[in-house]
Chain A
């Protein structure tokens, strides 16, 4: 049997389709806009996307690592001391428990901790710890919990994974097994700790965890067991204290650890990836994506993975635009310009070329346009224009980044001084909101306000600010450092004169200081205005490097499947190309209701039933439902018969007499056949009803409570436009 046949075999639950070498005719290339795309363009653009994304992703990982690793090291140090640094005089040893709050399942911090624990520390001669992971799904009862914990430790070591004789060995859930294994292993690795990480701690059954703690506390410090609990709830009120009885808590020595909130981490990630003059992400994200990210992150799911996913999807969506082929170079992924030109002049590339030409033309000034129109064949200079645009965009982008970072720096400085007024703004002014406003070119108010605050600073404060500015310019990467030479020098000069003022007499100095503060304020306003007023989407061909206001494809991660199903059931006509009931199986269509919403009898069976479902109360009597369905089908049948008669009358204008004769003879047969026909029709109606009900049942619209004979309960009460 071929795999294709197997796939339709009802008796097979699984089918294996072996790997086959891709043939000559590969699946056709995907393109969201085939009319203006290069053949195979999507794949080429996808390569550019991969390059850009890999760069960004690495950067994000570096940043998150830099944020998390000191915190993780701190936790690891505490874990290592768990058995050496104990309170003296305790009546019994306590089980060390580290409750790390605010963790979602994919937290990078735990990953960091585990890596550091398992690595050990060669310099300090620390033995690597053994780590076992417990997930709620594996811990339905204490036996399974013990088993997976012991298995986690024992199986990870080579000596533990050897097959043991079941008759001559301890049970897999017996902690004595762990004890025996540990006694054996510790001879080789002295001071080895056993760390148990419990993921999604709130999901564990408390009774099971109580037993686990009880059993383990009996074996410490013989077995140096340390528990790390990943809690997603906040540290206050404490989940542990609310859920577990005093008897259990008394066994534990709880260390509460609160990690930097994810919001701050994300803000840093975004600033360091997209707004850092030292890093060029390749594709710049636009304000719409940032807004969506902010909204989704704060409302639905506070995890770093979500941020990665959203940015990655925004990048992927960005390369749908055919022109993003020029993301990194103008050579269309060819080795040199010549072959790129050859590619462009192929007939199948003409739609793309036409599109490219229109776009480039519209981005030019009038004079250039006329020159372009006169010489359409000069493809080389066409590519040259794109290269120019790329350089321009990157310059503008870099300037924006520097300006934005400076604004953030000054804002932070002023905020630290206690000027809360600079914070007043929309959205509670999280840096994410400022980023989005900055990209929209709506920061004028902010820099003007900051400028006026600078003018009011006193001598020490201004000197601190100028110090900060000097540091800012000194930290800029090489390429940018030279560009900012003028302003850097200006700041240096002002700082020097400020130092001079400090030594001058008070009267003269006061006036000169005011002038200086005014100058710095003015300079800041001018500097920001120069860099932040012009929006990135005002650059030529900006949409190649900047996602701008392109809507984010949110349905990819936050869909509305329920609404989709109900709307498909209610308005099937919007998904279908023909109204079925008049359409015979030969495909011919005989209705004239195009564009109008079809009547109930024109809908497919399941949709007819669904209309009845929505009109019913909380419970539906199946028989009532059946009758209403049968009535609709009766209408359908009548209409169909009438349409059939009409067709006959129109189609074959045979002579009346012959028609009359035939009708007489037919009548007798019909009376006999009618009964049969009716019975058959009844069965058809019933079968169609059962089929429709089963479909709705399959999709979860019905609940069989058995509370009333042959009644079903509705599960969906959505109010929908009908």
Chain B
């Protein structure tokens, strides 16, 4: 790609000559020009060499997370007062829409289109699909930005097109339900000129679900078909690294008769278009966890609920979520939770106030100890009852554990202040 920084150095040849020249000279004073222009990688090393000076403050202990409703309300009221994002000038929007016809001709000339640039491109591309592409053939849209989106969804959606269904029922179609057989059927179906061409619109083809080599090769198999046109968008700054230059440039093979020739090289033959809309990514981020600053990151999204992600300090239980869970469990379960939380709070208080309390595992209580005190308080008389009580909390991650059996350590993944509030709330009840 073009994103290469340029390195410029002052020419030093004149200085070399001076070494051999003894006659004193009066030099005109040069203006101080930076001899080396800093490039991206210089900047990287410059930063790596320094110690990162940041304050010890911890965001999640200083700022209470917003619940989904609070977030929605706040954004709504803020957007009433301010326009939170620039609306890309209507002229730009219109000029982009004006190019739809050109995009279509490019698609028909055997290219696939890839749109980049800051801002959500969904609305504009959807408009392109509805207004232009659907007049030329079948259109299938895949919202790659959704965490559940997968290539299987796309293939299944394509197979649900009536024309493809009809073909799949015929004798010459390949059987089987694997992605490969589906691909073979789809390719064979669209090879016939009786079926209208297929336009695939993939929002965020750079989404983690579509990045693996396997998925990429399957997408390439679709993209390299002459009668399947791919329109895709990317938002990640490093998304161009997904494809090798060969994959980017490999053209669709015209007149490839699938029956007689097994040779086909999958590739995307991208044409890149800048589609900076400046629109907000609200739809794309609708699945993000707005209660955490790291909620948009896929790592926390896929790992949600697992103890590992909780101990990493990225995920903590919010107060309102805990209240919801507690409101729906039995009295006994509540009692058990209170007992456990009080014990955890005691340990936390012993530990002192100044420390950051991220590693909740340290404040955990062993299963055996908890069971003894639960039995002493007549909350649960046997192990099965105790496990039933714990079950509900575990399912909702209000109580998490590590280890197995009696040696298991259990804890509530909540900060002290919040846990305190919850316990007080239970006392009032």
Contact = CB atoms under 8 A, between A and B. Distances in A.
Interface in B155-190: 156-157, 160-161, 174-175
A687 B75 contact: yes
A371 to B, nearest CB: 39
Interface in A665-711: 680, 683-684, 686-691, 693-695, 697-702, 704, 706, 708-711
Contacts, number: 398
Given A14-B154, A301-B249, A693 B293 contact: yes
Given A561-B240, A565-B237, A604-B85, A114 B261 contact: yes
B73 to A, nearest CB: 8
B235 A698 contact: yes
B238 A562 contact: yes
A91 B77 CA distance: 83
Contacts of A565: 116-118, 237
Interface in B246-289: 246-251, 253, 260-263, 265-267, 269-274, 276, 278, 280-281, 283-288
Contacts of B41: 717
Contacts of B341: none
A717 B153 contact: no
Interface residues of B, number: 144
Contact of B86 (A10, A572, A688): A572
Nearest to A701: B237
B141 A14 contact: yes
Contact of A308 (B92, B213, B251): B251
B58 A305 contact: no
Contact of A42 (B3, B39, B77, B101): B101
Contacts of A138: 214, 217
B141 A690 contact: no
A218 interface: no
A29 interface: yes
Interface stretch (B18-26, B296-304, B389-397, B420-428): B296-304
B75 to A, nearest CB: 5
Contact of B84 (A688, A698, A711): A688
Interface string A528-564: 0000000000000000000000000001111111111
A28 B100 CA distance: 9
Contact of B74 (A28, A563, A683, A694): A683
A563 B3 contact: yes
B17 interface: no
Interface in A10-57: 10, 12-23, 26-30, 42, 46
B263 A115 contact: yes
A719 B74 contact: no
Interface in B71-89: 71, 73-75, 77-89
A698 B285 contact: yes
A330 interface: no
B249 A578 contact: no
B355 to A, nearest CB: 11
Contact of B153 (A7, A13, A573): A13
B213 A137 contact: yes
B55 A12 contact: no
A710 B265 contact: no
Given A581-B82, A698-B235, A14 B142 contact: yes
Nearest to B161: A16
B143 A14 contact: yes
B271 A557 contact: yes
Contacts of B82: 580-581, 584, 636, 640
B351 interface: no
Contact of B78 (A19, A583, A684): A684
A303 interface: yes
B354 to A, nearest CB: 14
Contacts of B44: 717
Interface in A127-149: 131-133, 135-138, 140
Contacts of A110: 263
A199 B41 CA distance: 34
Contact of A575 (B47, B92, B146, B240): B92
Interface in B131-163: 131-143, 146, 148-150, 153-154, 156-157, 160-161
A131 B262 contact: yes
A561 B101 CA distance: 23
B269 A309 contact: yes
A576 B109 contact: no
B246 to A, nearest CB: 4
A577 interface: yes
A700 B236 contact: yes
Contacts of A242: none
Nearest to B83: A580
Given A7-B141, A619-B52, A555 B274 contact: yes
B9 to A, nearest CB: 16
A362 interface: no
A700 B237 contact: yes
A185 to B, nearest CB: 16
A561 B234 contact: yes
Nearest to A130: B262
Contact of B3 (A14, A21, A560, A620): A560
A695 B55 CA distance: 24
A561 to B, nearest CB: 4
A624 B142 contact: no
Contacts of A140: 213-214
A564 B274 contact: yes
A698 B284 contact: yes
A305 B312 CA distance: 48
A687 B293 CA distance: 10
Given A623-B59, A686-B74, A711 B54 contact: yes
Contact of A568 (B57, B111, B278): B278
Interface stretch (B60-68, B328-336, B342-350, B371-379): B60-68
B356 interface: yes
Given A13-B149, A16-B160, A690-B290, A624 B54 contact: yes
A691 B73 CA distance: 13
B143 A617 contact: no
B138 A16 contact: yes
B91 interface: yes
A710 B86 contact: no
B234 A719 contact: no
A719 to B, nearest CB: 5
A558 B4 CA distance: 12
A700 B238 contact: yes
Nearest to B291: A690
Interface in A597-648: 604-606, 617-624, 626, 636, 640
Contact of A605 (B85, B154, B284): B85
**Which of B62, B70, B83, B133: most chain A Cβ within 10 A?**
B83
Contacts of A12: 143
B321 interface: no
A104 B246 CA distance: 7
B1 A558 contact: yes
A689 to B, nearest CB: 8
Interface string A63-101: 000000000000000000000000000000000000000
A27 B131 contact: yes
Nearest to A144: B214
Contact of B118 (A18, A22, A303, A568): A568
B140 A14 contact: yes
Nearest to A21: B135
A106 B251 contact: yes
Contacts of A640: 81-82
A111 B271 contact: no
A585 B81 CA distance: 7
B415 interface: no
5 contacts: A17-B134, A305-B267, A623-B55, A690-B66, A693-B296
Report the 10 A-B pairs with minimum CB-CB distance, sorted nearest first.
Answer: A137-B217, A687-B74, A577-B89, A621-B54, A576-B86, A694-B296, A30-B101, A568-B118, A580-B83, A14-B157
Given A16-B138, A562-B240, A691-B285, 5 more contacts: A13-B146, A14-B154, A42-B102, A568-B117, A580-B85
